[in-house]
Structure 1
Amino acid sequence: MMKQLREGVWQIECSGVNAYLADDDGTLTLIDAGTPRDEQTIRAAVAEAGYALTDIERVLITHYDVDHVGALAALGLDAEIYIGASDRGFFIGDEKPPLGNLKGALQRVTGTVTTPPAGEVTGVADGDTVGSFTVYYTPGHTPGHVAYVSETLSVAFVGDLVRESDGDLGPSPKPMSYDTERVRDSIEYLADAEPAVEVLAMGHGVPFVRNGAVRLAELGERIARL
């Protein structure tokens, strides 16, 4: 299912996770890529938004997890691909997630059903820019987790840094994160940056289409008081 969140920004409801599509000043951008079984869902959503799959020129990956990269190889896109530098090795298969961490061990298992993309993958770091998007390094859920913020489009794609449930916003929990303390620090860091955006688009839950930056700031304040 596809839903338009604001002009040029769409949510793609995949199998228990969200992917997104954004028209960044004419550069069609896919943000995350669902699970391995979501290829057809993404194809259909792109068509519903009025585009062809070949129109996608850029892919922004918030982090390496099977439910965020799973359908990418099957889509066969001729597109520039970006991911946080510390997750790049996991993504392209040059490195293995650590077995000594429960989350890492889960990634090892799910990695057996994840095919690395065929194209070049660029690692990004805090403060980098890709089109209108600024990269924020937000580790904790994974070592290389990043958020992509476009004030031009008024949207922050925050992956699994946070999750929404019944209208409430909370940090990514154990055991689905490498380090929950770093998750909290990353939330405070992004909230302190005060991104001027309306839409807060997370991997799990219902995106906030208004006052997204406010909701993030409120969560940051709650965390700071703990």
Structure 2
Amino acid sequence: MATEIAEGVWRFDCRGVNAYLVSDDVPTLVDAGTPWDEAAIRRGLDEAGVAVSDIGRVLLTHYDLDHVGTLAALAPDLDASIHAYGFDAQLLRGARSPPLRNHKGLIQRLGGLLTDLPDLDVVGVRDGEALGSFTAYHTPGHTPGHVAYVSEELGVGLLGDLVSESDGDLKPSGWVISYDTDAVAASVRDLAERAPVFEVACVGHGEPLATGGSEALRRLAATL
């Protein structure tokens, strides 16, 4: 199901995770659900009036089974570059494997057994890079290459799994699903300081915030 949470910002409710479509300079898909969410994403795009072939850019916040899962299935109809950061981009290309010495890396190894890599161009993102109206902010901790994207023009923050939503507030990515929770806390504080004001906070898990997004992020940062 697709829900327009703000003008031009659609949430796709996948299996325990959110993906998004943003009307930027080109239709932009943000993350891509689990390997079992192809139908949900295709249906959501249709409800938003966008064909898979219309997507001009894919922004990935990070590599995890529930954020890259449908890319291979969408690939035959998708003519867009995938943008991901550093280590996570290498995982998506199949150039590296998650480390077994880290508990989250082990989870990613297991998830990789269920995840097909897409036959698509994976473009590395740089911290501070502009992608349409969005600016990329490297926010490691949940994964080494986690990145958030904020558009001052649209008033939208794409926060991925740096944080999740609970009872209307944001909370940081926890130990079980993170490489490094100290890095998560530092990334929350850094993003709250560096990013411009945004109203809409698009999170990977929980309900997106339609208003007060950057204020909620700063409240969280003040507690870490």
* TM-score for the superposition, normalised by structure 1: 0.96
- Which residue in the other structure is 2:6 paired with? 6
Instruction: Tell me how large the CA RMSD over aligned residues is.
Output: 0.8
CA displacement 1:92-132 (0-9 Å, x = unmatched): 11100000000000100110111111111011121011111
Q: Counterparts in 2 of 1:190-201, with a 5 A limit?
A: 190-201=191-202
Matched, 1:211 2:212: yes
Distance 1:57 1:141 in 2: 27
What are structure 1's unaligned runs of at least 5 residues?
A: none
- Distance (Å, rounded) in 2 between the aligned partners of 1:98 and 1:24: 35
Secondary structure of 1:222's match?
A: coil
Q: Displacement, 1:194?
A: 4.2
Equivalent in the alignment of 1:178? 179
Partner deviation per Cα, 1:16-37 (whole Å, 9 max, x = no partner): 0000001103x00000000000
What amino acid is the match of 2:44?
A
Q: Does 1:73 align with 2:72?
A: yes
Structure 1 outlier segments of 4+, above 6 Å: none
Q: Deviations over 1:59-96 (max 9, x none)?
A: 00000000000011101211111001221111111100
- Tell me the residue number matched to 1:156: 157
Q: Is the 8 Å Cα contact of residues 130 and 136 (structure 2) preserved in structure 1?
A: yes
Q: CA deviation at 1:5?
A: 1.4
What residue number does 1:57 align with? Answer: 56
Q: Give TM-score, length-normalised by structure 2.
A: 0.97
Distance in 1 of aligned mates of 2:120 and 2:73: 12
Letter in 1 for 2:212: N
Percent of residue pairs bearing the same amino acid type: 54
Deviates more, 1:192-201 or 1:35-44: 192-201
